[in-house]
Structure 1
Amino acid sequence: MNLVHGLKQTLQIAWFESCRKIQSWRIIITLIAAAVVLFLAYSNGLGAMRSEPGEMANNFLRPFVASATLVIGISAVIMSSEDLSTEFEKNTGFVMFTKPLSRYALFAGKFLSGFIASLIVTVFYYAVTIIACINAVGYVPSRVYLAILLALLFLLAVIGICLLFSAVSPRSSLAMIVAFILLVMLPIFLQNVSFDAEPWYSFGYSSGIVGDYALGNQTVFSFYEGSLHTEDFVPNTSVATAVMSAYGILATAFAAVIFRHRSM
C-alpha cells in the first residue's frame, strides 16, 4: 500500500511540475536556444555540404549532432538545477499534499518532470535536424536514429548531475550557475584542449559519443617512431555509454540521499 501511495505521489508531482515548467518561461527559453542553434547549424551544414569533401550527409549533419549535447545541457540546467534547492527555500512540494509526503517521492517526481520537459526540447531538436537533413540531402543515415538513444542517456545523466548540484546548493540561483558553468561552458572550452592520453573517465569527453556515433567517427592512429599516436581521440561507444551511465546513476543516488537527509 505504501509503495502504491508513493508511486501515486511521484506521478502527481511529476505531472504538476511538468505542467508548471512547460507553461513557464523555461520551456520558451530552451526552445528559443534550440531554434538559434538549429539556424546556425543549418547555415554551417549547407556550407560544409557544398564545399567540403566526403559524404554529404555527414558534412551537413556535423554541426547539428555536434551541438546536440549543448542544447540538451542547456535544457537540463534550466529545467532541473533549481528543483531541489527551491524546496529548501519555499517548500513548494510539501504544500501540495495534506498527507505525509516522502522526500524520495518528491525527488522522483522532480526528476521525471525535468526529464519530460527536456525531452520535449530534445525531440524538437532532433525532429528539425532530421527534416532538414531529408530536405537538404534526401536521406538520413541510420546511425543518427541510434544516436538519439545515446542523447537520451546523456539527458538522464545530466539531469542527475543537475539535481546533485541542486541538493547541495544553499541557493537555487547558485545551483543553476554552477551547473551551467560545469555542464555547458566547460565542455565547450575542453573541445579546444588536446590530450596526451584518452580521458575516457571524463563525462564531458564521453558525451562526445552522441555526435561521433551519428557521424561514424572513430579514433585514427598513426605509427610514428615505433608507437601509435593520434591527434584526436574519439570516445568508444561501449566505454562512453558505461561512463555516462555511471555518472548519472551515482549523481542521482547521491542527490536523492542528500535531499532525503538535508534539513529544511
Structure 2
Amino acid sequence: MERILTESEIKLIESEAKNNPIFKFYGLKIFNVSKLNYLNIITLSDKNLILIKGNLDTAYEHIKIRHEYWSTQPYPKGEGFQAQSKFPNDIYPAKFIKIADSIYSPENLIENNDHKDSDKFEKYFGAYSFDNITEEKINLILYKGTKIIHSLYPQSNKYNKNRNRTKYPFSRGIIQINTNSLNKNKEIHIPYFGTDLKLKYTILIEKFIEKEIEEWRILAFDGNRNYKFDYYIGEKKISEFRGETSERISYQHCDLKHIEELILQIERSKKE
C-alpha cells in the first residue's frame, strides 16, 4: 500500500519549515539523512520548497531510490521490469533541490494535471540542462497547495542503462563480495531476481590471488533460495581494481549482457 503524507503530517511539516530557526536564519540545510525519520525536513530551498526524508513512496527517499542513476531497486512490470526515468550519473541527491527550484515557477504549472492523484498533487513541467547544453524535460510534483516535494524526475528514460531491456525477466540485485582472511581469495556474488522478486540466478566470480585467475559460473536457485545446479562459463586473468569500492561499483553496474543472455538460455531450456 502506498504511503504518502496525511493532512496532519503536511501541517506538521509546514509548521516546522516556518518556525524552526535553523531554516529561518541559516538558509538551505542538508542533514545526515540516515538519522532522520521520514517526516524530518532535509532541505528548504531558496524558493522555500520543502524536501523531507520521506519513504519509498514519497519525497527524498522515493526520488533517490526510483530515479537516481545508481539505484538498483527493481520495479516489476508484466514479464519484465520497468525502465523508469533516471537522472544522469553525476546528479547526486544534494542537487535534487536545486533542480526542483529551477522547475518551480508559475509558467511551468500544469493547469489540467493528469496525475492519477490530481486531488492530492500539483504538477510542474519545465526544462533543465544537466550539461549546460542540452535541455531535458523535468517533472516536479508537489503536495497540492503546499511547497512540499512529492517527486522529481526526468521525462525521458534515456539515462537508464536498461531502458531497452524491459522484457528481460531478471533484474540484478545488490552484489556481495566475500574475502578469505587467510589467502585473500574472493567470491563475488551478482544476484538476479525474477519478476516475483525471488532469487533465481547468481553470477559467481571466484578470484584466486596466487594463481592470478578468476573463474566465472552461473548458479541456479529455486524460489526458496535453495541451490539447484551451476553452469561453468570459464576462466580469465584476474581483474584488478583500485580498491573494494571501485570493484563493487564496477561489478554492480558493468555490462554483463553476454552472461545475462546465457541465463536466459538456461531458463528457456528448463521449460523445454
Structure 2 length-normalised TM: 0.27
Higher relative contact order (CA 8 A, sep 6+): 1
Structure of larger gyration radius: 2
Give the structure with the higher percent helix.
1
Structure 1 length-normalised TM: 0.28
Give the structure with the higher percent strand.
2
